[in-house]
Amino acid sequence: MARSGPVAGWRLDYLFSLARHSWLIHLGVVALLGLAWQHGINLASRREILIWFACMLTLSAAMLILARTYTRRWPDGQPAGPAPRAARAYGILHSLLTTLAGLGWGLGALWVARDDPALLPAYSLALEGTALGAVSSQHALPRSCLLSLWTSLPLLALAYLRHDPAWWYGGINAVMVLLYCGLLTLQSWRMGSFLARNAQLSVSLNARLTELTATSQALDEARRQAEDASMAKSRFLVQASHDLRQPIHAIGLLAAALHDTRLDTGQRELVGGIERAVGTVSGLFQSLLDISRLDVGGIRPHPQPLDLGELLRQAWGQAQPQWHASRQQIAARAAARFRLFDPPVWVCSDPGLLSAIVQNLLTNAIKYGQGDILLGIRRGPDGLSIQISDQGPGIAPEQMDAIFEEFYRIETPHGPHIDGLGLGLTIVRRLARLLQLRVRVRSRIGRGTTFRVSGLQPCAPQDGAPAQDLWERLAHPLKGRPVCLIDDDPEVLAAGAGLLRRWGCTVHAYGQPPDTLLGMQAIISDFDLGPGQADGLQTVLAIREREGWDVPALIVAGRMDAARERALAAAGIAYLPKPVPPVELRAWLMRHPPPPRPGP
């Protein structure tokens, strides 16, 4: 039951929230019972009836006023009880009023039994119903509930015992009333205990909810900080890409130019080591930049019709230097095999992103494979797929999912060291998701691994697609080819000019956009040409306008967003990211031969 000490605020909140309705019902019961009592007795007792009726109505009204006064303190109708001292006064006043009401009901029973015992059963029904209502509405404050019960029902039992004509019948009724009083007391205790437990659970849940909310907010803040740090890292890499690519690009060009000079065997091995080191650094750097661009959402696919076989041939052409280097180290290597459809197969996809997927898978096959490599196109129920198979050591089943995680690398205890950061397959899967493709892998230990990129949908060939074979277009020589080279970095400009001259080109090198007629047959330009200068796109368009025809142009840049790439593609200008392997630069020049001279 209730403990001594201040009444908990939630008990009074609950009590007075019910009191406004229960005491209105109490008023109605008192009024009806008073009318019935008045018509069933003699005139001599009507004064007592009026006194009882007035007292009960006064107590009911006082309780309504008390409840109204208490709940008026709630802002916006929400429970918020008074201070502890005021709450204690409200609790004591409520208990006093319920005690007086209980005494009023008990004395009324004695008066009814004395004047007209036949009216006592009806009075008992009203009193016992009121007592049950007191339990349901006052169990939040057990003190008031018990005072209400034990000041009314025992007097009702006494009325039965003293005024019933049949004493034994009155005694039975008295015992039943007392048992009913005990039952209501037990019920009041149970309801009070249940309410107290619910209140404790509510407090505990509120405390846990507050704690969880604080923890969730802390986790959200930590997540935001981590995301901000990751985005800052990614933005830094993207923004710094141009400056970091410049020296790597220059070293590659200088090494390629040095390789074409008269060197002895030892010197050629040193230059070859420099070129391999530059290639390794370029690959690592490109992987980091690709992940950074994916993190910041800087890559958006732009599907278009493309010749899938041509794309695979170009990917293999770009991988030739790495393939030849691996053949010198692995004697068991054979020539790579292509399995392509004839006639050409056209699909709708983003050529740059799809080429990056193939290039990463092909690079992995060259690094980890031991024998030949199969690169081909297959048809399946879900469309066309690209398949790349190697004869490497294979991948264990428990590592199949882990190989697509960032920075995860398969290390063999007795195998050679493989350069890389473990980002290639992560980039492949994320790019495939952007293109709505699926990457599947099948491997057997000691037998090799097969990657399949599926979900490519065939489409009609692009209007005006060139029918000339790639390898036929590579046969044009570069000797005497006038090339305009533009770059604001003196070291890169000098290295690029030296390399082009060794290939036989006639080079016109500029540190800023030229403004004269040059008679050029190819333009190779950086995109960012310094503050206050036109960019590479504007420079190429200006040169073309002066030359009077669409001179083949290539933009070589360390940083390029999607909007700029689309603008370059719309103008028919090729783009290669720095550092550019010399073989790719030479291949671009050979794919764009000079226009035929007009006849006599």
Length of the chain: 600
Q: Where in the chain is the domain with CATH 3.30.565.10?
A: 299-461
**At a CB cut-off of 8 Å and minimum separation 6, what does 292 contact?**
233, 234, 235, 237, 238, 298
Torsion over CA: 383, 386, 391, 393 (sign): negative
Comma-separated ranges of CATH 3.40.50.2300 domains in the chain: 473-591
Q: What is the DSSP letter of 328?
A: H
* Fold (topology level) of 299-461: Heat Shock Protein 90 (3.30.565)
**How far, in Å, CA of 490 to CA of 510, rounded?**
9
Give a three-class secondary structure readout of 80-136.
Answer: CCCCHHHHHHHHHHHHHHHHHHHHHHHHHHHHHHHHCHHHHHHHHHHHHHHHHHHHH
Instruction: Say if residues 487 and 511 touch (Cβ distance below 8 Å).
Output: yes
List Cα–Cα distances, 291 to 147, 294, 360, 405, in angstroms. Answer: 76, 5, 13, 12
Q: What angle (nearest 5°) sits at the alpha carbon of residue 412, between those of residues 408 and 415? A: 130
H or E, element range at 417: none
Q: Tell me, what DSSP letter sits at residue 463?
A: T
At residue 141, the 3 state secondary structure works out as: coil
**Contact of 15 with 140, CB cutoff 8 Å:** yes
pLDDT value of residue 284: 57
pLDDT at 150: 92
The C-alpha atoms of residue 148 and residue 134 are separated, in whole angstroms, by: 7
Joined tokens for residue 364: 């992995």
Task: Return the closest-CA partner of residue 403 out of 464, 360, 462.
Answer: 360
Can you list the alpha helix ranges (DSSP code H) found in 260-406?
265-295, 308-329, 351-368
Q: 165: Cβ–Cβ under 8 A, 6 or more apart, which residues?
A: 117
Q: In whole angstroms, what separates CA 456 from the centre of its chain?
A: 28
What is the block-wise mean pLDDT of the chain (600 residues), using blocks of 10 residues? 49 76 75 67 63 84 84 55 67 89 87 77 83 83 88 89 75 89 90 84 85 89 81 64 64 69 71 68 60 61 82 76 62 53 73 81 78 80 82 76 66 52 73 84 83 85 50 52 87 83 84 78 86 85 86 83 82 83 77 57
Strands 448-456 and 383-389: antiparallel
Predicted pLDDT at 43: 47
118 alpha-carbon distance from chain centroid: 77
Cβ atoms of residues 437 and 383 within 8 Å = no
The secondary element (H helix, E strand) that includes residue 374 is strand 374-380
Residue 453 has which token pair? 């990129």
pLDDT, position 3? 39
Fold of 473-591: Rossmann fold (3.40.50)
Q: Which of 89, 78, 93, 81 is nearest to 6 (CA)?
A: 89
